[in-house]
Amino acid sequence: MAVTRRGVLVGALAGGGLALGYMLRPRSYPLPLHPHEGEFAFDAWIRIGADGVVTVSVPQVEMGQGVTTLIPQIVAHELGADWRQIAAEPAPVSARYANLALAAKWAPLWMPLVPSLADDPDDLLTRRWAQDEVFDVTADGTAIAAYEAAARAAAASARAMLAQAAAARWNVGWEECEVANGFVTHENRKLPFGPLAAEAARYSPPSTPPLRAEPMSERAGEFPPGAPLRYPRLDLPSKIDGSWTFAGDVRLPGMVFAAIRHGPIGRRTFLSDLDEGAAKGVPGFLRTVRSPEGQAAWVAAVATNGWAAEQALARMEPGFRVAAGADSDAVDTAMDEALHNARAHRIHSAGDMALVRDRLPIQIGYEVSPAIHAGIETAAATAWLHDGKLELWIGTQAPQAVRKTVAAALDMHLRDVVLYPVAIGGSFDRRLEHGQAVEAALIARAVSKPVQLTWSRREEFRAGLPRAPVSAVMAARPDSEGQIAGWRARITVPATAREFGRRLLHGDAPYDALEAVALDADPMALEGAVPPYAIPNLAIDHVPVRIGLPTARMRGNAHGWTAFFNESFIDELAHKAGREPLSYRMAMLGHDPRLAACLQRVAALSQWGGGSDASGQGLACHVIDAGGIGGRIAVVASARREAEGVRVDRLSAVVDVGRIVNLDIARQQVEGGLVFGLGLALGCAVRYAGGRPDSESLAAMGLPTLADCPAIEVDFIESREDPADPGELGVAAVAPAVANALFSATGLRLRRLPFFAEDV
């Protein structure tokens, strides 16, 4: 029997109205940010000062994606403020800022049995869960989808209230007033926001916010190279002069500093050896703090400065024992066995399954190795336990989850954990994990002082969980003309998204989460596996596998491997059919003119030569669809083989992300995604032995340097579709484009990520 939303609600009503009544009960939440002296609050989003400064609350953490500019820009446009009047402030954790778009997208993680009941942001169930959980999570580029409507409504209401205040002075109808560039005007009279703020705050906003006819948007043609920006980034000046505050910049009176050593990644780790006497000669060293019994082992040194803490640990030379430590050889064996023999879960099918059954005429294998995050900023947190409360300064994508985890670790009430959000120096979803927060809180309790814990680069790599390994067998049945009659993907990957969900939403320890979902089907781990082409008979199978290694999210997530599989395979099919790769793709895109337009435009932008005759050009495209809001990209890479390895000379990309709020930020996100994806294609791989990674420094990761970065050109398709996130598209599409380019240049197919030197 199919489970429907209506059926569940009717059943709740018949079986006991208490649950339904709870869901329908109106909720009210206190104002998250109270105005300072001389300021006046307009909803939870906007405060206007007597000096005319408009401060916008930003409920998403700034980690380079530009959200500190995007949401204030939406407010400034709708309010009619001068951009020079706009300030941004990180919003505290509050149910008022629940990310409904992300809650709906992640419904399989918090409602795994029937996610379809909560897969729409407008669902009452989604709203109630997100508000009850204070789900202010920053992820998957959902800021515009989640907050644009609320920010616009607040700004439109504030604009009407300012107009009402001015109209009362002038004895005219407020609807006759105009609000623009920081002034309310009527004929030849005008007043700035500042003198009106106090009076405006006393008015009631209209029952329906008077939104402007057009939402905030910028067109690519408006900003030729070198043109001044209409909305320059608000965070840029302070990042240039060093005043922008990251977690490691926090300073408190009497603060001490901690350095840490973690045990290997394994089911159970123990601190086996520690010579505490060796640290007593280090000036400034205070004491050591160890992890609680029953938890993964770590030891921290506390000192009056960070250098002394690190030196003390180096002298003590902590030793660890590990039971069932993560081992890459065992991972490889488990992956290979599962790929060929384990039971698969069919997560998508269309057409006649008889045409995709058994062995198909073309079957090709691909692999993606585990990869480790390489954010600029390592994990850091500052904690201060005093007067029964814990104050925590941390850069995190999931603030409420941090509060809950820390409260549980210290056996405190949630209300006594106060979190101050600070910016992140690059995350790539690494800061959805928050082990450093618990460690800092435990150390602060032990030393009874404010303490700042900063992980070294080595500890960031040792304690960080990698992106999952993935293997795939891509199979196709061509028809007599070389077109694809049947397509089957058998993809072996741990249930990595469900595993992450257990850690984030239920507070599971890594190995507990791994065991809880080990052999579950995980459609989120195969996002993007359905190719964008019109293929009549199609099957996508997930083969979950136990690998004994916890895994985590990374920028691009499943799209980082599914795009590689699909676009590498489609290129191979075009070659086997004797078809030019662009026309082969175009023939299957009659249903998606937006993606077809991207392909046509990128062919012109890159002077596409067909990808043959050792041209060194390779083509790839991809679609990322989130709740019906889809972004599209087409990439042409120019690459060649050198004695030192792979050289990518040029990347040309054309992107359709719907309506663009800030063109400069959209371009930055696409360019950054392309470079990040190039890093995953050429490096970032990690192998484990005894629970330790084989790479513990950035220099060993094979990351592209500035000298290695190719020339990049990005063009945008003008569109009025709903805005889509530009930040993940480049990550997904660049690896297959480079692989296809290297085939053109060398005749060698690269079917494993990253492209190791011995492969080329």
Long-range contacts of 349-354 (CB under 8 A, 24+ apart): 349/538, 349/539, 349/540, 350/535, 350/536, 350/537, 350/538, 350/539, 351/486, 351/535, 351/536, 351/537, 351/538, 352/486, 352/536, 352/537, 353/537, 353/539
**Strands 189-192, 256-262: parallel, antiparallel or unpaired by DSSP?**
unpaired
**What are the pLDDT digits (tens) for 371-411?**
999 888 999 999 999 999 999 999 999 999 999 999 999 99
The helix or strand, by DSSP H or E, that contains position 543, with its residue range, turns out to be strand 537-543
List the one residue out of 609, 605, 612 whose CA is nearest residue 633: 605
Peptide bond into 754 cis (omega under 30): yes
* Residue-level length of the chain: 760
> What pLDDT is recorded for position 627?
67
The amino acid occupying position 375 is: G
List the one residue out of 737, 754, 330, 731 whose CA is nearest residue 557: 731
> What pLDDT is recorded for position 25?
57
> What pLDDT is recorded for position 1?
37
CB 716 within 8 A of CB 597: no
CB 619 within 8 A of CB 601: no
CB 754 within 8 A of CB 739: no
User: 646: Cβ–Cβ under 8 A, 6 or more apart, which residues?
Assistant: 639, 640, 682, 738, 742, 755, 760
Here the tokens at position 745 are 């240049």
**Strands 629-642, 617-626: parallel, antiparallel or unpaired by DSSP?**
antiparallel
Neighbours of 232 (CB within 10 A): 13
Q: pTM of the full predicted structure?
A: 0.94
Using the 8-state DSSP alphabet, how is residue 423 labeled?
A: B
**Domains, the chain, ordered by start:** 39-219 (3.30.365.10), 247-324+379-454 (3.30.365.10), 342-371+466-759 (3.30.365.10)
**What are the pLDDT digits (tens) for 26-36?**
567 888 888 99
List the one residue out of 371, 464, 374, 430 whose CA is nearest residue 685: 371
Q: Where are the alpha helices (DSSP H) in 410-553?
A: 435-447, 457-463, 496-506, 510-517
Give percent of the chain with pLDDT exceeding 90: 87
- In the predicted model, residues of the chain with pLDDT beneath 70 are 1-27, 627, 757-760
**Strands 54-58, 86-90: parallel, antiparallel or unpaired by DSSP?**
parallel
